[in-house]
Chain A
Amino acid sequence: MSEQHKEHILPIKAYLGVAGALFILTMVTVAVSYINLGGWNAVVAVSIASFKVSLVALFFMHLKYDNKINLFIFLIGISFVTLFIIFTMFDTLRRADIYEIKAKPIKEKAHIYERAPDDSTQQSDAAQH
């Protein structure tokens, strides 16, 4: 084992402290679920969960004390998941947009319909569109 990979041993108190924090945060998650925050429900729940994940990654998985490249790689993984979710939400959250476009009358003054006033056949074609 090279010198860079020395085992880092945390005092048992630190582990118990992190475990305690995780328990408390779990209770907070449950408690918050009884309060209706509307659209913020998911935001609060995900924030607490993210914080818990960070605790596990930093202390139980030792990313805080490990070579920083490992933290970097971990964050790349997380950022790609985030990217996937955000870009997918560009679709799923805005998908109904297309149905909200109401049929509107053709703008008769629009450039492509400009033509001589006596051209009645084409005008009626345009009106049908």
Chain B
Amino acid sequence: MNAALEQSYLKNPKGLTSWLFTRDHKRIGLMYLYAIMFFFFLGGVFALLIRLELLSPGKTIMSADQYNQAFTLHGAIMIFLFIIPAIPAALGNFILPLLIGARDVAFPKLNLASFYIYVAGALFAIYSIITGAVDTGWTFYTPYSTESTTSVISMTFAVFILGFSSIFTGLNFIVTIHKLRAPGLTWFKQPLFVWGLYATAIIQVLATPVLSITLVLLILERVFGIGIFDPAMGGDPVLYQHFFWFYSHPAVYIMILPGMGIISETITVFSRKKIFGYNAIAFSSLAIAFVSFLVWGHHMFTSGQSEIAAMIFSFLTFLVGIPSGIKTFNWLATLYKGQISFEAPMIYTLSFLFLFTIGGLTGIFLGALALNVHLHDTYFVVAHFHYVMMGGTVMAFLAGLHYWWPKIFGRLYNETAAKIGAILVFVGFNMTFFSQFILGSQGMPRRYYNYLDQFQPLHAFSSFGSFVLGIGFFVMLVYLVHSLFKGKTPGYNPWGGLTLEWTVPSPPPPHNFDKIPEITHGPYDYDKILVKRN
């Protein structure tokens, strides 16, 4: 046992209650990390079951009803229990105060409350799965969701509760970033991950309440038949989609923005070069956050929405390409003439750049009104959002997880195994989802249990890809767990980063900094400061 570990937040104070009632952002972040990884595993199991079922036409391993439940649970778990809290609540909670030179977040008790609310929401979701699951798809569209005999109410109530957890985290981060920055850490000296979390937090606070309202209306509709979404009573089922996407489209940016923040960190550290276009990247995060509120109607082009609304939403959707493009080109320019090294976090970062670009560009295809008519509700859409969410957010999450793993646990993982895992994940991902772009463009509808024989080769290829992906994640599980017991100790700064978290021991002591640091340089001044690894 090394001294840093003995004196770290992991060992001080000791005892179960010291964890259950902790107010330490690092412990709360870690508990979140365990929770979301569990749900990532669960959602992943559902994903593999879906792909196994689709290996051949007709029944393979489950009935059509079970299939409907499997894809709904895969979606609902991955979205609400994994990807939304993954980066902000787990990694963000741990790293944010360290990045800005603070001893904790602004409201530590609210932070703990946020975790327990998440747990309560998760328990409701599990209850819903046990009592009959849900078969509506993760979007809970009316009118089917008001008629389905599955446990829609408990699942929507779970999501309702999870929303509060998300709002609490967002509120906490906004106040923390405004009030607790170390002396000298001006807005434009903040690491870009902080900007990403800030933009995310704004969306969480502004948009999540709308989801809560939507789900309450859905529950009222189901229980009391109030008729707001029922045309027979003068209601409007498309109104549900407006309500739902007013939250859920910005929520896509809740998922991707903090991921973009992580990429800005890792790409500079592993290029040993100052970030290109700091201000442009920072402001493009805010621009994405703002525009994200104005594009929700692009989910509804074929739902009977008016043409004028469709035109407006289509135009605004194209605007998202601008700040996203600004970020991508700035990251590429950062790589240019950098001293690039290919450790696991960098492999995930480069995967992100490659996959997010494909995901983003196919989003532009889907935003085009005429093309959307053909591609909507096909596997093209499935492939698009998996390229953005998994190729984007999950790759960024994995980059961040590997980057900060030595800081969080005070252990180094086996680099060779990590590289093998990263390559398997990249290859498996592309096999799984690139084939789905082709399937979708040929007209294979999403969410279908059965399909024509002509689609089988591509479906089978996609399923085999998902098995490669599964093996990649299994390799990751093995070397990460192995590192916890047998990993070498990393020292303060294994990657040679310039941001504040690398100035404290790995893992950090309970109160982070003995003395609050004073900031004199920018977060990426590799042109001015020579940083050596450890």
Contacts and interface: CB of A to CB of B under 8 A. Distances in A.
B133 to A, nearest CB: 31
Given A77-B206, A84-B210, A84-B246, A90 B293 contact: no
A94 interface: yes
A98 B306 CA distance: 7
A95 interface: yes
Interface string B67-98: 00000000000000000000000000000000
Contact of A91 (B210, B293, B294, B305): B305
Contacts of A87: 242, 294, 296-297, 309, 312-313
Contacts of B305: 91, 95
A90 B295 CA distance: 13
Contact of A95 (B206, B293, B297, B306): B306
B307 interface: yes
A92 interface: yes
A98 B313 CA distance: 17
Contacts of B239: 88, 92
Interface in B319-353: none
A44 interface: no
Nearest to B207: A80
Nearest to B246: A84
A95 B294 contact: no
A97 B308 contact: yes
A113 B66 CA distance: 52
B304 A76 contact: no
Interface residues of A, number: 15
A83 B293 contact: yes
B308 A90 contact: yes
A124 B236 CA distance: 42
Nearest to B311: A90
Interface string A80-109: 100110011011111101100000000000
Contact of A90 (B210, B304, B306): B306
Contacts of B312: 87, 90
B309 A94 contact: yes
Contacts of A84: 210, 242, 246
Size class of the contact patch on chain B: 20 to 34
Contacts of A93: 306
A61 to B, nearest CB: 18
B368 interface: no
A95 B246 contact: no
Contacts of A98: 306-307
Contacts of A95: 304-306
A90 B294 contact: no
B238 interface: yes
B289 to A, nearest CB: 12
A84 B294 CA distance: 9
A91 B309 contact: yes
Contacts of B297: 87, 90-91
Contacts of B210: 84
A94 B408 CA distance: 54
B306 A88 contact: no
A76, A87, A91, A98: which has the most chain B beta carbons within 10 Å? A91
A91 B306 CA distance: 5
A70 B308 CA distance: 36
Contacts of B296: 87
A76 B206 contact: yes
A1 to B, nearest CB: 16
B158 to A, nearest CB: 24
Contacts of A76: 206
A97 B305 CA distance: 10
Given A83-B293, A84-B246, A88-B242, A97 B306 contact: yes
Contact of A94 (B238, B294, B306): B306
Nearest to B296: A87
A94 B242 CA distance: 15
A87 B311 CA distance: 12
A91 B206 contact: no
Interface in B248-306: 293-294, 296-297, 300, 304-306
Given A94-B307, A97-B308, A98-B307, 17 more contacts: A76-B206, A77-B206, A80-B206, A83-B293, A84-B242, A87-B296, A87-B297, A87-B309, A88-B239, A88-B242, A90-B297, A90-B309, A91-B238, A91-B300, A91-B306, A94-B308, A98-B306
21 contacts: A76-B206, A80-B293, A83-B293, A84-B210, A84-B246, A87-B309, A88-B242, A90-B308, A90-B312, A91-B297, A91-B305, A92-B236, A92-B306, A94-B307, A94-B308, A95-B304, A95-B305, A95-B306, A97-B306, A98-B306, A98-B307
The 5 residue pairs across chains A and B that have the minimum distance between CB atoms: A94-B306, A91-B309, A90-B309, A95-B306, A88-B242
